[in-house]
Amino acid sequence: MLRLTAPGNDRLLQSPNLKATFGGGEANVCVSCARFGLKSKYVSALPKNSLGQKVEELLLGQKVDTSAIAWCGHRVGVYFVERGANQRGSTVLYDRKNSSISEATPNNFDWDKVFENASWFHVSGITPALTESAADLTLYAVKEAKKRGVAVSCDLNYRKKLWDYGKKPSEVMPAIVENTDYLIANEEDIQLSLGINFDADVTKGHLEASDYESLMKKVSDKYPHLKAIATTLRESVSADHNNWSAILYTNGKLHISKKYAITHIVDRVGGGDSFAGGLITGLNIYEQPQDALEFAVAASCLKHSIDGDWNLVSKQEVLSLMGGDGSGRVQR
Amino acid sequence: MLRLTAPGNDRLLQSPNLKATFGGGEANVCVSCARFGLKSKYVSALPKNSLGQKVEELLLGQKVDTSAIAWCGHRVGVYFVERGANQRGSTVLYDRKNSSISEATPNNFDWDKVFENASWFHVSGITPALTESAADLTLYAVKEAKKRGVAVSCDLNYRKKLWDYGKKPSEVMPAIVENTDYLIANEEDIQLSLGINFDADVTKGHLEASDYESLMKKVSDKYPHLKAIATTLRESVSADHNNWSAILYTNGKLHISKKYAITHIVDRVGGGDSFAGGLITGLNIYEQPQDALEFAVAASCLKHSIDGDWNLVSKQEVLSLMGGDGSGRVQR
Amino acid sequence: MLRLTAPGNDRLLQSPNLKATFGGGEANVCVSCARFGLKSKYVSALPKNSLGQKVEELLLGQKVDTSAIAWCGHRVGVYFVERGANQRGSTVLYDRKNSSISEATPNNFDWDKVFENASWFHVSGITPALTESAADLTLYAVKEAKKRGVAVSCDLNYRKKLWDYGKKPSEVMPAIVENTDYLIANEEDIQLSLGINFDADVTKGHLEASDYESLMKKVSDKYPHLKAIATTLRESVSADHNNWSAILYTNGKLHISKKYAITHIVDRVGGGDSFAGGLITGLNIYEQPQDALEFAVAASCLKHSIDGDWNLVSKQEVLSLMGGDGSGRVQR
Amino acid sequence: MLRLTAPGNDRLLQSPNLKATFGGGEANVCVSCARFGLKSKYVSALPKNSLGQKVEELLLGQKVDTSAIAWCGHRVGVYFVERGANQRGSTVLYDRKNSSISEATPNNFDWDKVFENASWFHVSGITPALTESAADLTLYAVKEAKKRGVAVSCDLNYRKKLWDYGKKPSEVMPAIVENTDYLIANEEDIQLSLGINFDADVTKGHLEASDYESLMKKVSDKYPHLKAIATTLRESVSADHNNWSAILYTNGKLHISKKYAITHIVDRVGGGDSFAGGLITGLNIYEQPQDALEFAVAASCLKHSIDGDWNLVSKQEVLSLMGGDGSGRVQR
Amino acid sequence: MLRLTAPGNDRLLQSPNLKATFGGGEANVCVSCARFGLKSKYVSALPKNSLGQKVEELLLGQKVDTSAIAWCGHRVGVYFVERGANQRGSTVLYDRKNSSISEATPNNFDWDKVFENASWFHVSGITPALTESAADLTLYAVKEAKKRGVAVSCDLNYRKKLWDYGKKPSEVMPAIVENTDYLIANEEDIQLSLGINFDADVTKGHLEASDYESLMKKVSDKYPHLKAIATTLRESVSADHNNWSAILYTNGKLHISKKYAITHIVDRVGGGDSFAGGLITGLNIYEQPQDALEFAVAASCLKHSIDGDWNLVSKQEVLSLMGGDGSGRVQR
Amino acid sequence: MLRLTAPGNDRLLQSPNLKATFGGGEANVCVSCARFGLKSKYVSALPKNSLGQKVEELLLGQKVDTSAIAWCGHRVGVYFVERGANQRGSTVLYDRKNSSISEATPNNFDWDKVFENASWFHVSGITPALTESAADLTLYAVKEAKKRGVAVSCDLNYRKKLWDYGKKPSEVMPAIVENTDYLIANEEDIQLSLGINFDADVTKGHLEASDYESLMKKVSDKYPHLKAIATTLRESVSADHNNWSAILYTNGKLHISKKYAITHIVDRVGGGDSFAGGLITGLNIYEQPQDALEFAVAASCLKHSIDGDWNLVSKQEVLSLMGGDGSGRVQR
């Protein structure tokens, strides 16, 4: 999607200037993985116009393989972002109806090419929220992945403003989760997409990691094939100050990450995707779940200091933060 | 007035770029009221040049009625703002001498038109600080309002750099307050404009709301016709971090608002005006003084997250903050 | 040097815009002293091209005497800055090899003109880090100063990325310090440039001023001719939040300054130089070492609120902060 | 529509900055008429989101009546503009599918309110190009206008990239023209929308006004109820240099305007609309067709010097150019 | 004066961005002379605020001596510029009433210091247009110059929008011209300031240099003490394209310069001042009047390619154009 | 190289903003070829820092193969560009000493990998102008190419400001031309790099293509192995207006291209490289030399409308211009 962001803390169109970057769950995760050294391929649909070509250009610059893109449809989705401050939250205005991906079907893709040499496939719950065909396509894709022995991760990513084509997430997402090995979901996702209840108050600004253990267990009981379930824990003190950590539940054990105070948020849109990209990377490069989790949390902590959806940091910078240096001293 | 602001935290003209917006007490209050749903009319003077026309254009865009503007005089006042940070305060450099409003007289206005359908009239103590004629005009206007049974509010708004035409505020403002129903004034205003003493140290960064009760009582004793007296309480921790609350004294009772920590101020110029606009709105839409006060404080709290003089928030956003959601979470 | 800074918190070249200013230890200190009222002369080398001329233009604008500049060599050094946030530190990428100063020799300067009417000469340890000829030139210059009875101050300013021409700082800096009267050095400088050990952990975010007394004494014992030794104490909580104070050791007594919490850093590059410029000024205008130190710390505290290398504040602003007003209230 | 324009002569997204303004045929004509002193009302559909509200704000600022806007649907259309230069033409990329107006129906409007006090109604052939419902709506609207004795003007405005919902313009536009009094159409519009042939080569950079007489006659013969037919004559020497004139055929007589050389085009998008707005104004304020035509051509000539869709000039400026002063001397 | 210019070809405040530079006749001429190698001193009044200090900073950067500035009064004048294009001329909106210079008196200056080592003094007819006191001050100053044997040049520079304090230029300027040695004046200046008639049509876009001979003679007859009279000849084809030349009448002989076609004007405000600065320089460095004239015309031709009031070119660039290279080839 | 360009027509550092893009002969040609559909590989050296990585990112985005880059050395060269206007030419200030490529040697490259699947190798005369090692490397590379049967093209590209390491181009370039099949050279290149005389006056603004035939013949006689010699013909009317054409001499026949008037140049830096890229493409996709030449001239004509070194146009756009549509009409 084309992301159009108002400058500074301006309200949308308070000034006539917009900054154009590109984002969206799948692209964001791809870019993270590619920057951390994984071979990464973008599987989505783009129109054959100058915006679609720009998306490809930027992904190529990040060393993401673009050969599996389906060039079809008529538009790149757009979303508008205004950055909040203090008590005023950031806002996202979606204009993504009728985007190429929302109208794409399995026939637009060459599935053998999509999964050539692939070992991991990641989907998000945002695409199925767009249209029935996008939901069908997502389910089709994860089944194709499973058929080929490719591991599947899914970030439920519930977005209230999107689900409006007639189906509820709880009618769509469970089938996808049935084909998922690694699930990323927060408490709201789990309640609304999987129909499993939890009682945290997300507006109170403080969450206890241990509170989540029972919820993780519930999910695991319902979907026992899941190899791991991860949740990011965002304590929102203000639009500028969040505390950030995550948990990973695997093999019946809850791993709790270090918690980072992020007191001067630059941009938190894409934060969840940077966690997903970090977790996929972490699970691929570390043996210990705790290490994978810490890598993911450190990576996504750093994302909050980066403007735009993409987590433009290096693996070395993540490792340095994991290693304990979060003092923000000048590097010279 | 034309407001020219240096970019970011730059000193004035550190770079050659300036951002031009419009502000000034009366316009700021009008815009707040209009955005919150009140019918709002701007009563001031503007010159017939492209700057005057731009002010009208922007006010019309905010749904402010511009039909009572007196088109006379030669210039729009200008003020320059540089945004401070940490220990360095923001600075305001006024260049507003000889502006249209400073030279306007009662004859420039059609008073029947000004007060047509009006139920409330708001003035600030900034206009009387400009020139003797502006002081006379203000007094004339509030008397015209009272004559027609229109409620009058006045924000004393003492500005040291302005009062230089030979009169002291204490020679001018009391007569205006005699015609005022609702007074907004902080301790400095009260001391210097009304000659009533108070001993708070405004640089200490911490004020107690209850300390103000005796002061309110003194004002009320001197001006017993006042229906309400309001004071904003700004604790200035640094140029970026203020704590913000207010009190409202009415019917012999002190109402103390919730206090908001504003830790990443975007722009505090216009903060007081946003309180005035919020209070006028609150007093018009709520029965309970506490509700009116909380509306005003929440509205003006949000102003600190908005760049420019005008409080570009919606009534719904104010209500949401009043309702307790100040976590600054992304709205999507 | 030409300083090219990425906008906002962008990574370097995340957008194609760069802000060009000029900086570098010697220029930064000159500008501080000139702004605080001292007669200040820039002694360095610049090439005869449009960049060199721009440096002169900007220095002249700050009332720095440019008559002693050696116009020779081929380039103005360049450095690139990206501003960090939170856990991500700012980065500086130097591209200063082969700059005019790095290739200059004593013959490029007219030393009588350099020191005409001079009472103080300041050098930094950055120049000697560039090339052997620059190290030789620095030593030559301080000896010329001493020969003429000019007081010499030196800021050791160790920069790991620079020392790569084959000599270690500990082989070069001691001879310069032998000709120095006033030394500015932090614990890392002292260890690596003078070979005197200290055990503070600079990443722990909290330093005790008193811990430094023994270190100061060690330096003083080794270089008993030093009239004063100063160290800035930077506690790096995050890239946005540092606590800032300093110590001054003179006549066997340790003076500890007030500590400032700088919670919303605008730009900390040049912070050390602003301390040096403040200290030179302070030592010239105050009799008491404590006053000189407090002036230097207040001046450099304010620098963290100023974008760019140069501390664009006035003496009056420093005095106001020294006097206790750090509340950041609007000046109007 | 939201118009997003690349800066300077950049290709689209060559840099990440876009300038956001609003445009679209109906709004552009409204703004022209309002600026020239006609009472002007915008009749279209907008979604209830921040973009829709911004359109209203900007129209209000131009003194356009927004009370007849239908607040319905889901999106503001978007179009992207990159400014060409020399041999490279500007490009427009439309992303306006599913905009509010493309999905609106007659039921979304209160037609009595739409035509209250109206004497003239203008439509363009762009709306009918969007969807079948928009075509139906346009036809419905012009019939409603005729029913009430309101004069109707129509600018055929053929856009190749838009007509893709299954109908050809020649199946849709004739019925609208049947209800039109004043037609604006160039040779391509007439051929493709009305099926009347003409043989000019639009790429040759030079057109003869008199060549058009026979074509005007053909149109007039087919639609004898038309009170006037106007055509703009654009000779495109390069993307920067166009020669601009127009003809008006009325009462069997061809009026040919003065021709303007526009050698440094600032922005030609919206040029045709500025002619329509100028012509409607001219026909309303002048008795002589030649005067009306000259007003329209002078107005739209000036538009080419204005950035953005809206012709931000004054009636006085148009009159001054009509009066012969096109020397571009400084006004001071 | 502070000059605030709208970006690109925007109308004033079409976007909220303004570019701030400084200009004004006296400063512009000073900067030209200083850049061309003359010792140049700025004699004017500025207020003791951050704007006044910025003017000094920028003048110092251009190597203009600022020691004679009178620091008095309350404001720096402001003027707003929007750049025209094609048939739309640029506009200048003055807001310079009550500026420091308009209220200054001879007592604000130390005239011995002003004329220390001076051989030439230049005044413009803009200052006398501001107020009666400014007119008196200008006359006082030129008399002081003459008293000390300093050559005086005067650029009549008639500005219609300024003369509004009750006197006509023809009541003020003749006395100043009586004390002038070198006069710069175009036909309008001569008619309106000196009351000598001429019949050129300045809007026709084409002037004949030889037409001016009789006018020059008339001026010379009336003011026989004048050593030279110069007139710039601007043929205004459009706001972007002017042809530029000048004539110099001295010793009864008319010198006509080369004519330059300036087809892509960047900024013509300050063009006349750049001619004055070039002429003063030329008369000081050349023996032949024709050479002085050609230098002035080449210098001011180049000014039209420079944004802002100041002619930021070098003497070498002027000489190169005088020498015939106006092909605009890349220098590398 | 990092290219830093002043905004608009500003002089270098007239404002503090610079636009950063990347350019340089080899990269420019690569990008052109890749955009026109050839497989293109960049063979040069870059340092392992964030600037080097950015170059790679941008090249990848243009689908240039970066696998042969030698990652060595210490800096990316820098050059500063200010855009001229009218009589003032653009200027280029080089700061490219000690760049990675200037210090690279044949050992830094894997020549088998460099020429894997290659059929064409292009070099420019800029690299040999940097250092003796760069000259040696260029000669080594073209010999490696010839050894493998790869066609070689060379653009002589004489740059006066560069050749300063002690050798003259005429001592270096002939040996490279001995290994070249396709030579691009203008008359200055031929004179200074190959020592063959020609008498055109490049400042007169008008060149006759046929004048070049004898020169081409001289070159061909001296280097009979050359398959083709091409020269661009730039008539420089002003910095904004050039006429552009080229000639191609092959098999004893002179082909003269269409001539384009480019009246509003956006950026001419990189124009020659865009011709080289167009010519290589043309010679690869067309059989007729005239077609190849027309493709190259049309491509490079369009480059003058594109900001930055890279010719960001599509093959389709070039074909359209070749086909005769240079009217610059809006594409919508």
Question: What is the per-residue pLDDT across E93-125, written as a single tens digit (0 to 9) for each?
Answer: 999 989 999 999 999 999 999 999 999 999 999
D305 touches chain E (CB under 8 A): yes
Q: How far apart are CA B109 and CA B123, in angstroms?
A: 15
D16 and A12: CB-CB below 8 Å? no
Q: How far is D315 from chain E (nearest CA, A)?
A: 13
Q: How far apart are CA B145 and CA B68, in angstroms?
A: 14
A8 touches chain E (CB under 8 A): no
Which residue, among F83, F87, F96, F273, would best test binding to E if mutated, counting the most E CBs under 10 Å from its CB? F87
F315 touches chain A (CB under 8 A): no
Pairing of strands A260-262, B2-5: unpaired
Q: How far apart are CA C54 and CA E61, in angstroms?
A: 9
Give kind and range of the element (H or E) at residue D113: helix D111-115
C297 touches chain B (CB under 8 A): no
Which residue, among B95, B307, B310, would best test binding to E if mutated, counting the most E CBs under 10 Å from its CB? B95
According to DSSP, residue D93 is labeled E
Residues 6+ apart with CB under 8 A from B287: none
Q: How far apart are CA C222 and CA C210, in angstroms?
A: 20
What number is the ipTM of this complex? 0.94
Residue E273 pLDDT: 98
B61 touches chain D (CB under 8 A): yes
Nearest in space to D4 (alpha carbons), one of D163, D16, D271, A10: D16
Local confidence pLDDT in tens for the 332 residues of chain C: 999 999 999 999 999 999 999 999 999 999 999 999 999 999 999 999 999 999 999 999 999 999 999 999 999 999 999 999 999 999 999 999 899 999 999 999 999 999 999 999 999 999 999 999 999 999 999 999 999 999 999 999 998 888 999 999 999 999 999 999 999 998 889 999 999 987 655 555 456 766 788 889 999 999 999 999 999 999 999 999 999 999 999 999 999 999 999 999 999 999 999 999 999 999 999 999 999 999 999 999 999 999 999 999 999 999 999 999 889 998 87
Reading the block at residue F25, the tokens are 């002969």
Q: Are B179 and B142 in contact (CB under 8 A)?
A: yes
Nearest by CB to residue B98, choosing from E16, E54, E97, is E97
> Residue length, chain C?
332
Kindly list the residues from chain D whose CB atom is less than 8 angstroms away from the CB atom of residue A20. 4, 13, 16-18
Q: How far apart are CA A23 and CA A30, in angstroms?
A: 11
pLDDT confidence tier of residue B331, bands split at 50, 70 and 90: confident
Residue A197 pLDDT: 83
Kindly list the residues from chain F whose CB atom is less than 8 angstroms away from the CB atom of residue A62. 57
For D239, the closest chain F residue by CA position comes to F328
Reading the block at residue C167, the tokens are 């000599």
Residue D250 DSSP SS3: strand
Residue E197 pLDDT: 83
E329 and F202: CB-CB below 8 Å? yes
Q: Are A130 and A101 in contact (CB under 8 A)?
A: yes
Q: How far is F17 from chain B (nearest CA, A)?
A: 9
Residue C130 pLDDT: 94
Q: How far is C304 from chain E (nearest CA, A)?
A: 21
C260 touches chain B (CB under 8 A): yes
F326 and D238: CB-CB below 8 Å? yes
Residue F208 DSSP SS3: coil
E12 and B97: CB-CB below 8 Å? no
C88 and A265: CB-CB below 8 Å? no
Residue D168 pLDDT: 94
Residue C142 pLDDT: 98
Q: How far apart are CA B171 and CA A180, in angstroms?
A: 78
Residue B102 identity: S
A15 touches chain E (CB under 8 A): yes
Q: Are A279 and A255 in contact (CB under 8 A)?
A: no
Nearest in space to C119 (alpha carbons), one of C80, C87, C146, C91: C146
Angle at F240 between CA F239 and CA F241, to 5 degrees: 100
| Residue ranges of chain A whose pLDDT lies below 50 | 205
Residues 6+ apart with CB under 8 A from F323: none
Average pLDDT, chain C: 94
Q: How far is B75 from chain E (nearest CA, A)?
A: 7
F86 and E313: CB-CB below 8 Å? no
F60 and A60: CB-CB below 8 Å? yes
What's the Cα-to-Cα distance from A7 to each of B82, C1, C7, E88, rounded to whole Å? Answer: 18, 29, 11, 31
Residue B229 pLDDT: 97
D252 touches chain C (CB under 8 A): no
Phi and psi torsions of D107, nearest 5°: -65, -20
Sign of torsion, CA F24 F30 F32 F35? negative
Average pLDDT, chain D: 94
A330 touches chain C (CB under 8 A): yes
E301 touches chain F (CB under 8 A): yes
Nearest by CB to residue A63, choosing from F58, F60, F62, is F60
Q: What is the mean pLDDT of residues D123-139?
A: 96
Residue A187 pLDDT: 87
Residue E96 DSSP SS3: coil
Reading the block at residue B196, the tokens are 């009533």
Q: Count Cβ atoms below 10 Å from residue F57 Cβ, excluding itself.
A: 18
E78 touches chain D (CB under 8 A): no
Pairing of strands D260-262, E242-250: unpaired
> Residue length, chain F?
332
D49 touches chain B (CB under 8 A): no
Residue E298 DSSP SS3: helix
All partners of chain B with 3 or more CB pairs under 8 angstroms: A, C, D, E, F
C18 and F20: CB-CB below 8 Å? yes
C227 touches chain E (CB under 8 A): no
What's the Cα-to-Cα distance from A254 to each of A217, A230, A275, C177, rounded to whole Å? Answer: 9, 9, 17, 57
Q: How far apart are CA B142 and CA B122, in angstroms?
A: 8
Q: Count Cβ atoms below 10 Å from residue C289 Cβ, excluding itself.
A: 20
Q: How far apart are CA A85 and CA A6, in angstroms?
A: 13
All partners of chain A with 3 or more CB pairs under 8 angstroms: B, C, D, E, F
* Angle (deg, nearest 10), helices D50-61 and D25-35: 30
Kindly list the residues from chain F whose CB atom is less than 8 angstroms away from the CB atom of residue B7. none
B331 and A241: CB-CB below 8 Å? no
Q: What is the mean pLDDT of residues B177-192?
A: 94
Which residue, among E86, E90, E204, E238, would best test binding to D if mutated, counting the most D CBs under 10 Å from its CB? E86
What's the Cα-to-Cα distance from B327 to each of A119, A199, B261, B268, rounded to whole Å? Answer: 40, 18, 12, 20
Q: How far is B148 from chain C (nearest CA, A)?
A: 36
CA dihedral of residues D222, D225, D226, D228 (deg, nearest 10): 120
Question: What is the per-residue pLDDT across F33-52, written as a single tens digit (0 to 9) for each?
Answer: 999 999 999 999 999 999 99
Question: What is the per-residue pLDDT across F47-90, written as a single tens digit (0 to 9) for each?
Answer: 999 999 999 999 999 999 999 999 999 999 999 999 999 999 99
Q: How far is E167 from chain C (nearest CA, A)?
A: 37
Q: Are E106 and E137 in contact (CB under 8 A)?
A: yes
Nearest by CB to residue A90, choosing from B265, B321, B330, is B330
Residue A322 identity: M
Reading the block at residue E50, the tokens are 């951050």
Q: How far apart are CA A77 and CA E294, in angstroms?
A: 60
Q: Is the pLDDT of residue D331 over 90?
A: no
Reading the block at residue E273, the tokens are 């001042």
Q: How far apart are CA B18 and CA B13, in angstroms?
A: 8
B8 touches chain C (CB under 8 A): yes
> Residue length, chain B?
332
C16 and F13: CB-CB below 8 Å? no
Q: Is the pLDDT of residue E287 over 80?
A: yes
Angle at B310 between CA B307 and CA B314, to 5 degrees: 95
Q: Are C63 and C40 in contact (CB under 8 A)?
A: yes
E74 and B97: CB-CB below 8 Å? yes
Residue C211 pLDDT: 76
Kindly list the residues from chain A whose CB atom is less than 8 angstroms away from the CB atom of residue F62. 57
Residue B43 DSSP SS3: coil
